[in-house]
Each structure stands twice: as C-alpha cells, then as structure tokens.
Structure 1
C-alpha cells in the first residue's frame, strides 16, 4: 500500500508523527494566469502540484506535500485577462504563514517548489528569510531551472521549458487533456525568449507578455504530445527527488 503524501489527506496526529520523523515538507507554488490561446489558466497549478507529488513519491523517505499556493506574481500577464496576481508583500506573507505553521508543528525541512517563472526570484528570497526567521532549513527552486539537463533532451524545438510551450503543453496533454484546446495549437507559438536582442539572462527587466508575444506563448507548442509530457514528468520528478535526497542539502 502506498504511503500517503498529501498533507490534506492526513490527520493531525499523522502529521505530528511525520514531523517527529523529520519529514520534508514540499510546498508547491504556482500562479493562475493566461497560457496562450490553447491552454487553460490553471497550467502552473496543475503542473506544479504534479511535479511536487511525483517528486515526493520518488523520494523514498518521510515527506508530505501541502496543497498548492495557487496565486503568485503575475503582473506581466495581466493585459491578457484571466490572470490573478499578488504584490510581493502579500505573496511572501502567504508563504510565511504556511512555513511558520509547519515549523510550529515541528517540521524542520521545507521546500518551496515553484512552478511559475514570475515567482522564481521571490521564492528564493523568501526561503532565505524564513530559514533565518524560523531557524529551520527552507530551500527553494523553480523546477525547470533546477533540472534543465533532463528537460532539454526531450524537446524538439526548444532548449528548455518556457511558457505555454512545447514542454508545458505536452505535460498538460498528459495530465489534463481536457484543459488543452487542440484546435488552437496552430496559433500556439511565439518568440523563443522573453528578452530583447542584446539582453543577457543576468539582466532582469519585466515586460508585459502581450508586448513580447501577441499569442501569449513563449516557445512552440505545435509539436507537443502527451507521450512527451509523460516522459518529461518522469524525468523532472526523478531528478528533483535525487536533488532533495542529498543529505548535505539539509545538514
């Protein structure tokens, strides 16, 4: 019988026991936002939750996954509609409350597992603050930034996961095909980067996605497949579990 990993499906007594076992708490963090003409707005929630849960199932040690933090920093998608965004103070406040609650129950290791590019810098800053504030280990990563080496070989037209792209669309075809509008796939392509010519990766400057990509897509979803999505999820979760299993990370 599989061990239950979802926080919301465990009793308070069972969660106290997990804390006593030094279980890792994985907190999926996402966003509710536009994903081009062909994907529903809940992509980051669905993918972030599934990556977190599949990672937990592969860890092989005491672990628990909270419900997903479903909204984050998505101002750059607001012009398209269909998007909910927070400011940093509100976003960090929600994360702080979750981490503080888990810490009060005795959990000492937590992972903010992010599934939205606009949250990447924020979760890293928040994790550092919480580690000091609560005296525990709090890590943070955006999953495609953490394991790019297993994503790139599985894609045909991209070097990595982008937005509403070959990778995200393939994952959605595998996990939630009812949320993919396949009749709109021919429109589902855009530039290969959110940066303008001459802007290096290390130079940050947020722009509205509508100014960058009229379709709302970064990358090319036209070659997405469900089979590719299954392989991506397996590879991402497997590698994330390897990273989180490293005892030196939590020493």
Structure 2
C-alpha cells in the first residue's frame, strides 16, 4: 500500500486490521544532488523509492510512505540543481514525519536511505527523538504515586525507528562489488546509476569524462568539493552502468528489503 495513492479510510483500516505489517511503514529517504555528468539529480531518492515500490508491489501487506526526497547535500551545492537542507532543518523535518506517522498508530518506522551524507543526521535525529522519553521526568508537584506513574509511562516511546541504507541490505553490496570490481567508488557509483537506468531507461545520460575512474579525497564544503571533484564523481566510473545490471541489483534488493522489514515488524520489544 502506497500512502500517497490511498485514501485516509484505507490507511485507517490497514492500521487496525491486525496484520503482521499493519503498523509498520517504510519511508524512502534520500537527497536531490548532482551525480556526476551522467547521473540523475534524484538518484539518491530514486533508488530507495524504486526498491521500496517494487517491494510493495510484490508484498501486498507492505506500507510505503511518500518519498522524503531532500536531504543533507550542502557539499554538492556548487553543482546546479542540488537542493539541500541545513542539518537543523533536516532533523526538524524527520521529527515531524515521525510524529505524524506515530500519531496515527504506526509503531515501526523504517527509513530506507539512499544517501550516505544523510546517515549521521538521521541517527542524531533518532537519538533526539528517543531523548524526549529518556529525559522525561514527572513534575515534583505531583504526589509520589502519580510521579511514579508518569515516570513509568515516559520510559519508552510508543514506536521504534530503524535506518537502513539500500546498499546495506543483505547481499546487495557484495553483488554490486561483484558486478563492478573496479571503479565502483563512493559517489555517482555505477550501481546507483544502474538502478535508475533500469527504472527510467528513457532518461539514460552519456558524457565524455576523464579520468575514467575519478579521484578520491575528503568531503568538506561546497567549493572545496567542486575544486577536488570537478565533474562531481568520487572514485567512480559510472559508464559501467546499464539497465540490465540495475535490474540485477533491484532483484536482489527487493526480497532483502521485504525480509528486513518483516523482521523489524516482528521484533519483540522488552517491556511491551
């Protein structure tokens, strides 16, 4: 079930049907940023969306939220078309997504990420969200029994959060390294570009670039990045991508995602 293509009564009914995945939701999350001279700007949000939507089509009980398509991309801002949040804005937006979904009864919220630059901030956001419960204290004005009750109620949030990069799904990264033993790199990789080519074959881009395998180095501010990596690639040779290779990666990622989400939904929480 895709939330954005459903009505509110349909979502309400699914939340209350008692199924094993009825209160678990997958949120594809990524970034809109440059991906070298041949990669689509939406690559980092398209990859998790493509995988999540194919998983939803194959596993009817999977619920997928609209894609969170803007992330942490300040270091790409020297390239046209990149859109980025500040860390504080990104954290606030994720918090509001979690609060909205939890309000309706989703108690397992699974973020399927497509941008490595998001990871630190998403994890920090999870910690901040959990801290709202961990640091909660009862009012000293309440009788001791009431304070104990409030403290007990505030010990554990009514939901759990999980972050998974799509390439870290079991078996996926090893397959990518097998398909692309050299020139896989860290950004504008042939694997991620191949995934988008498989889903959007009419949007395949070509370009001449040199060197064939891009240099590697640190990632800092936007102008430093542009000076170090003038065409946007880091360590990669995206010309190796093809729709056929992308289809192989998707076909490995989809069942791995379904298993991972199912395991997450079935996780037994202590004290619950």
Normalised by the length of structure 2, the TM-score is 0.77
Give 2:231's aligned residue. 215
Q: How does 1:1-251 map to 2 (within 5 A)?
A: 5-20=1-16, 21=18, 22-58=22-58, 60=59, 62-131=61-130, 133=132, 134-147=157-170, 148-158=173-183, 162-182=186-206, 184=207, 186=209, 189-191=212-214, 193-195=216-218, 206=220, 208-218=224-234, 219-246=236-263, 250-251=267-268
Structure 1 runs not aligned, ≥5 long: 196-204
Tell me if structure 1 keeps the 8 A contact 2:51–2:254: yes
Distance change in 2, residues 1:188/1:81 (3 Å): farther
Pairwise CA distance, 1:230: 0.4
Deviations 1:182-233 (A, max 9, x none): 2x155585436444xxxxxxxxx63543233222112111221110010011
Instruction: Report the structure number with the largest CA radius of gyration.
Output: 2
Give 1:198's aligned residue. none
Tell me if structure 1 keeps the 8 A contact 2:55–2:62: no
Distance change in 2, residues 1:166/1:69 (3 Å): same
Structure 2 runs not aligned, ≥5 long: 133-156
Pairwise CA distance, 1:154: 2.7
Higher mean C-alpha displacement, 216-225 vs 13-22: 13-22
Pairwise CA distance, 1:79: 1.4
Normalised by the length of structure 1, the TM-score is 0.83
Pairwise CA distance, 1:24: 1.4
Distance change in 2, residues 1:74/1:247 (3 Å): closer
Question: What is the RMSD of the two structures over their aligned residues, measured on CA atoms?
Answer: 2.5
Q: Distance in 2 between matches of 1:194 and 1:146?
A: 26
Deviations 1:108-136 (A, max 9, x none): 11111111121011122223433554431
Q: Distance in 2 between matches of 1:144 and 1:56?
A: 18
Tell me if structure 1 keeps the 8 A contact 2:169–2:253: no
Distance change in 2, residues 1:40/1:83 (3 Å): same
Residue-pair matches, total: 235
